Amino acid sequence: MSEKVRVEHPLDVLTRIERSAAMEQELLLQDDGTAWTGLLADYVDALSGLATPGTAENGYVATYGLDEGHAGGCG
Interval 4-61: pLDDT, tens: 888 999 999 999 999 999 999 888 877 877 787 888 889 998 888 877 665 556 666 6
**With 60 as the cut, is the pLDDT of residue 75 above it?**
no
- Residue 15 has what pLDDT? 96
Q: Could you list the residue range(s) of the whole structural domain that residue 44 is in? A: 10-56
Q: How far, in Å, CA of 36 to CA of 59, rounded?
A: 34
Residue 3 lies in a domain: no
Q: Are 40 and 34 in contact (CB under 8 A)?
A: no
- Residue 10 has what pLDDT? 94
Residue 17 lies in a domain: yes
Residue 42 lies in a domain: yes
- Residue 74 has what pLDDT? 58
